Chains A and B, each alone.
Chain A
Amino acid sequence: YVYSRPPPWSDTLPTIYVITPTYTRPVQKAELTRLANTFLHVQNLHWVVVEDSPRRTNLVSNLLEKAGLNFTHLNVETPKSLKLGLSWIPSHTPRGTLQRNLGLHWLRDSFSNAVPPEGVVYFADDDNTYSLELFEEMRYTRRVSVWPVAFVGGLRYESPKVSPAGKVVGWKTVFDPNRPFAIDMAGFAINIKLILEKPQASFKLEGVKGGYQETSLLKDLVTMDGLEPKAANCTKVLVWHTRTERPTLVNEGKRGFTDPRVEV
C-alpha cells in the first residue's frame, strides 16, 4: 500500500499556505517530489504551486494528484521581455515574481477579509530545503515572523538581529544590511489576515534592485519592530537555501537521445 498520507486535517490548527513558483527544467520533477515528501509530514498544509508556463503541465498536474497533499495548481507565464530583463528600467525582474503574486491573488480571491481563515502564508522555492520544525515555528505567526536562512548572501546563514527584549532591530548580513528587510524569501511568513487586509501589497515587478524583492512586499505589510522572531530568537537554522546543479545532458545530442515519453 501507499504508506504516506498527510496527517488528518484539523479544524483548530491554522493552515499553512505554501506558495511555490516552479518552472520546467530537467530537475523539476525531482525537486517537487522531495518537496512533497517533506510537506506530507505537515498538518494543515495547503500547497499553492504556480507554474511559470502558458498552460498547466501534465507533469505537475499528475505529481500533485498523486502526492496526496491539499493543493491548488495555478500557472502564469513570465513574458519573455521580463525574463530577459529587457524592461526599460535597467534592472531585472527576479524569478518567480509573477507566480508568487498570482498565489497571493488566489488567496485574496478565495478568502474574504470579512471572515478570514486562521492561517499563514509562506513562499517556498522548489529547490530549498525545509526542516519540519520550521512549519511549526511559523504556524502561529500573528503578523510577520522571521528567522535565519542558510546559504544566502555569501554566508553560512543570514539572520535578523534580535535585541535582548526579543525585538528585531537589524539584519546580520554582509550584503546590503541596510535594506529595510534584508531577508531572504525563505526567511519570513505572513499571517493571511494581513494579506487580505492589504490587497495592494504584492511583489514589485520592475525597478527592483537586487536583494530588494522581499522588501517590495514587506514594506506594505509591516515595520521592522512589528516582526516576530522565531527559531529561538533567530539562533537556529531551520531552512537552507540549497541550489541544485544543472545536470549535464551532453549525451542527449542535438535532437535528444532518450525517449521523450519517459518522464523524468
Chain B
Amino acid sequence: SRPAAGRLPPERRGAEAALPTIYAITPTYSRPVQKAELTRLANTFRQVAQLHWILVEDAAARSDLVSRFVAAAGLPCTHLHVPTPRRYKRPGLPRATEQRNAGLAWLRQRHQHLPPPQPGVLFFADDDNTYSLELFQEMRTTRKVSVWPVGLVGGRRYERPVVENGKVVGWYTGWRADRPFAIDMAGFAVSLQVILSHPKAVFKRRGSQPGMQESDFLKQITTVEELEPKANNCTKVLVWHTRTEKVNLANEPKYHLDTVNIEV
C-alpha cells in the first residue's frame, strides 16, 4: 500500500481515486545499476496519484531481485517478463520491443471485456530516464495521443514537436526529421482506449529499421493531425533522456572474498 495516500484528507483521497490511471510500461534488464535505477524511478512514481507500474523484465523468468523489489515498491505494480530472442540482441537493433509489447498485451487482456471508453493513459518509461512530476499532470488529460519535448536526446539539449495554433506541424529533432513521427519513446503518451481500439498495434520486429520504432508504432494508431501538444505547446522540458554510466567493477575479486552475499 502507498503510505502517501494515508497523508491525504478523505476528500482528497476520493478525488485521487477518480483520476484516470496512468500506466507506466518499463522494460528493464539485469545489470549492476538495475536496482538503483528502479529505486529512484519508484521514488518518482510514488509521488504520482493513480499510477500503475508495469515492469517487464528482459528475462526468461522473474528474477529474485526484481521480485523482492516489486514486493516492497510501495505502488501498484505488475511484474512481467519476456526474454528478447538472441537474434535480436545485436547492436543497432531496437531494444525492449518484446517487453513493451508484453506490457501492451497485459493491458489489452485486462480490459478486453470492459465496455469502452476505458479511462487511462499509458506511456513508455525507460528505467534510466528522469521524469518531473509535472509531466504526469500533463499526460493525464490525454484524449488520444499526446506529445511533448524530451531533453538531452538526438544529440541536442532537447527535441520537440513544432506546434502552430495548437497543432503539431513538424519536428524539431537532431535525427531524421523526415520520419512520420520524429519523436523519442519518452515523448508521448497514448490513451488506453486507443490501445484497446487498435488491438494489432505493436512495436514491430519484421521490417523495422533501427530508429523507427516510435514512428512505426504511432502511425498504426494516430495521425500527426490528431496529436495533442502538452507542456505549454511543447515549449517546456519535463522529461530527460538521461543515461547512467557503466560502473567500474575492476576491483571485484575473482574469487569470493566477502563472507556475506549482498544485493546491490
Contacts and interface: CB of A to CB of B under 8 A. Distances in A.
A242 B33 CA distance: 7
B43 A132 contact: yes
A27 B128 CA distance: 13
Given A235-B260, A243-B245, 16 more contacts: A1-B15, A26-B152, A34-B43, A41-B43, A129-B40, A150-B32, A150-B264, A151-B33, A155-B252, A174-B251, A235-B262, A237-B262, A237-B264, A262-B236, A264-B157, A264-B237
B243 A245 contact: yes
B155 A262 contact: no
A3 B33 contact: no
B27 interface: no
A262 B157 contact: yes
B84 to A, nearest CB: 22
A30 interface: yes
Interface in A135-172: 148, 150-151, 153-157, 159, 172
13 contacts: A27-B240, A30-B130, A34-B130, A37-B44, A37-B47, A41-B46, A156-B32, A242-B36, A245-B244, A249-B152, A251-B154, A251-B174, A257-B174
Contact of B158 (A41, A245, A262): A262
A4 interface: yes
Looking at B49, B134, B240, the one whose CB has the most chain A CB atoms below 10 A away is B240
A263 B237 contact: yes
Contacts of A33: 130-132, 240
Interface of A: 1-4, 7-8, 26-27, 29-31, 33-34, 37-38, 40-41, 129-132, 148, 150-151, 153-157, 159, 172, 174-175, 235-237, 240, 242-245, 247-252, 257-258, 262-264
Nearest to B152: A247
Contacts of B48: 3-4
A41 B236 CA distance: 25
The 3 residue pairs across chains A and B that have the minimum distance between CB atoms? A154-B251, A251-B155, A251-B174
Nearest to A33: B132
A30 B137 CA distance: 18
A132 B4 CA distance: 13
Contacts of B132: 33, 37
A4 B258 CA distance: 41
Contacts of B249: 154-156
A172 B258 contact: yes
Contacts of B172: 258
A109 to B, nearest CB: 31
Contacts of A257: 156, 174
B248 A37 contact: no
Interface residues of B, number: 57
Interface string B131-172: 111100100000000000101111111101000000000001
A36 to B, nearest CB: 9
Nearest to B263: A237
A151 B264 contact: yes
Given A38-B40, A150-B36, A30 B151 contact: yes
- Chain B interface, DSSP helix/strand/loop, else mixed: loop
B249 to A, nearest CB: 6
Nearest to B261: A235
Looking at A3, A41, A235, the one whose CB has the most chain B CB atoms below 10 A away is A3
B235 interface: yes
Contacts of A150: 32, 36, 264
A264 B152 contact: yes
B44 A34 contact: yes
Interface in B47-99: 47-49
B30 interface: no
A30 B186 CA distance: 14
Contacts of A132: 43
Interface string B229-252: 000000111001111110111111
Given A2-B133, A252-B157, A156 B44 contact: no
B112 interface: no
Contacts of A27: 152, 240, 242
Nearest to A5: B7
A38 to B, nearest CB: 4
A17 to B, nearest CB: 20
Contacts of B244: 242-245
Nearest to A35: B40
Looking at B33, B49, B134, B262, the one whose CB has the most chain A CB atoms below 10 A away is B262
Contacts of A258: 156-158, 172
Contact of B43 (A30, A38, A154): A38
B245 A156 contact: no
Contacts of A41: 4, 43, 46-47
